[in-house]
Amino acid sequence: MSPSTAERFDLVVIGSGPAGEKGAAQAAYFGKRVALVERASILGGSAVGNAGIPTKTLRETALYVSGFHKRDVYGVRLQLDPQVVVSTLRARTDEVIGQMTRSVRENIERHGIELILGEASLLPERTVSVRTEAGERSLIGDVVLVAPGSRPYHPPGIPFDDPDVLDSEGVLNIERPFTSMVVVGGGAVGCEYASIFTALGVQVTLVDSVPRLLPFLDHELSDALAAAFRGDGIRVELNAGRPSVSRAEEGLTVTLGSGEVLRAEKDLYAAGRAGNIEGLGLDVVGVKVDERNRILVDDRFETSVPGVFAAGDVIGPPALASVSMEQARVAVCHAFGLEFKEAIDYLAPFGVYLIPEVAMVGLTEEAAAAEGIDYEVGRWPFGQTSRARISGSTAGLIKLVFQRADRTLLGVHVLGDSAAELIHQGQAVLHHSGTIDYFINATFNVPTLSDAYKYAAYDGLQRLARSRDSK
């Protein structure tokens, strides 16, 4: 198709995930003519179809149908037919996916964005060729935003063709109940599914080659999380080497680096994610990628090709939906010279929806030490709050990291119920370069979990006083 017959747009977006959708909407909001190309039948990318939203829905449904949080308070655990549980999980997940897909479509329509379903590939001069069911279309954009998302990474040698060896997408398609599972991978995805299936009564072994779960966490919370998992019945095996998976006569086997052989009905291999760059024609137009096939961008999210931007999972960590949205908005504002969003908020919180939840923002204790900061910490366990005692969910704590000299808050770390919500209070104080005195002076509703912020701050003040008295 010649350039003269191509359709012209201010912005052409590849991918309808969090980055693609919000980048397209940002441009349309400022009056730009936008086309959005999506190859999947479900809009919203992996966040809606097979990762973020489905996993969190499974979590909430598992907690509800199992009565997990109430088992220790009332001594009762709901006993449901396992097949009914599986059917309930799938039905609820499908329902939420449908709702979120409609929400993405409505947002696209509301902003007047042209949605094109098909396979996109880049050509020179910011041309995007799209193969649709009706034939090929050629689009030219003043700007192109590449946001194709990611998929589960499949390490070589792992038999994913075995129906009982699952990745984080395949696990959503389980049709029959099972009683045992080995989860390989102590990152966010592996830990999420390990805790979800444990709540459903599955005997779970969680394996990783590293010495700590979620190693990006503050070490104290990582250790507390492992203890909470073990307390809930998960067998946690760290420093286990790179496990191998095979099918023997007696069933599925997972062999650890120590030589120990684990047997389970299912194996979930959660080994990270890989960008969906195949078929995009990046090499054709000269878009550079790194050794892990992540698109390289500058601080404006522009690639090595002028006018071609990229955002979301395809450019690498942190690969959070919340951050991906902001990356795309910033990219679009820079691309069109819009004085609206000029930079990413890198004080973004990180939430992992485990049972119990964990969240963090700012510096860990280890990071503060590595930077040579004279710091102190304050902490308060949820088990000492009235709200947690009432609910029966007493696991976890709030931990504050702050400068000793002026009590400026440096980092907040939360393990426990509603951690992903609670973290935003700490984020707000960090944004305003506040001190832990904010929590001392603030009045919190009682009973609440938020009240733990105040007592974590008091704990920090007491530690400062004791250290001064000891000198």
**pLDDT tens digits, one per residue of 284-304:** 999 999 887 889 999 999 999
pTM for the full predicted model: 0.88
Residue 55, pLDDT score = 78
Residues 6 or more apart in contact with residue 460 via CB below 8 angstroms:
376, 377, 378, 400, 402, 407, 436
Edge-to-edge strands of the sheet including 358-362? 350-352, 358-362, 409-415, 397-403, 375-381
Which contacts (CB < 8 Å, 24+ apart) does range 38-41 have?
38/115, 38/116, 38/117, 39/117, 39/118, 39/119, 39/120, 40/16, 41/117
- pLDDT tens string 19-66: 999 999 999 999 999 999 999 888 887 777 666 777 788 788 777 766
pLDDT at 70: 53
Whether 2 has a pLDDT exceeding 80, the answer reads no
The predicted pLDDT at position 153 comes to: 87
Q: How many CA atoms lie within 13 A of 43 on its CB side?
A: 21
Residue whose pair of structure tokens reads 């309930």 in the numeric block: 88
- 226-229 long-range contacts, Cβ below 8 Å, gap at least 24? 228/356, 228/395, 228/396, 228/415, 229/191, 229/194, 229/195, 229/198
**Residue 471: HSE in the Cβ half-sphere, 13 Å Cα cutoff:** 6
Cross-strand pairs, 362:
411
Question: Which residues, other chains included, contact 463 with Cβ-Cβ below 8 Å and sequence gap of 6+?
Answer: 376, 377, 378
Given this chain, do its domains 3-152+274-336 and 165-266 carry the same CATH topology?
yes
The confidence score (pLDDT) of residue 50 equals 66
Q: What tokens appear for 441 in the block?
A: 């002076």
pLDDT digits (tens, 9 = 90+) for 165-190: 999 888 888 878 889 999 999 999 99
Mean pLDDT of the chain: 90
pLDDT, tens digit, for every residue of 421-452?
999 999 999 999 999 999 999 999 999 999 99
3-state secondary structure of 289: strand
- Please state the rounded mean pLDDT for residues 114-132: 95
What is the CATH code of the structural domain delimited by 165-266? Answer: 3.50.50.60
Considering only 87-96, 170-179, 304-313, which range has the smallest mean pLDDT? 87-96
Which of 142-146, 153-157, 305-309 shows the lowest mean pLDDT across its residues?
A: 153-157
Domain 3-152+274-336 sits in CATH at: 3.50.50.60
- CATH H superfamily, domain 356-466: FAD/NAD-linked reductase, C-terminal dimerisation domain (3.30.390.30)
Higher pLDDT, 288 or 318: 288
> What's 408's DSSP letter?
B
Q: Please say if the pLDDT value at position 73 is more than 70.
A: no
Calculate what percentage of the chain has a pLDDT beyond 70.
Answer: 94
Lowest mean pLDDT among 82-91, 131-140, 172-181, 205-214: 82-91
Handedness of CA 60, 252, 242, 233 (dihedral sign): positive
Measured N-to-C along each axis, helices 451-469 and 419-431 cross at an angle, to the nearest 10 degrees, of 60
pLDDT given for residue 441 in this prediction: 96
Give the rounded distance of the alpha carbon of 171 from its chain centre. 17
How do the domains of the chain map onto residue ranges? 3-152+274-336, 165-266, 356-466
Q: Which residue has the higher pLDDT, 317 or 221?
A: 221
Angle between helices 82-110 and 52-66 (to 10 degrees): 140
pLDDT for 250? 78
User: E strands along 15-90, which residues?
Assistant: 34-38
Per-residue pLDDT reduced to its tens digit, 349-403: 999 999 899 999 999 999 999 999 999 999 999 999 999 888 888 889 999 999 9
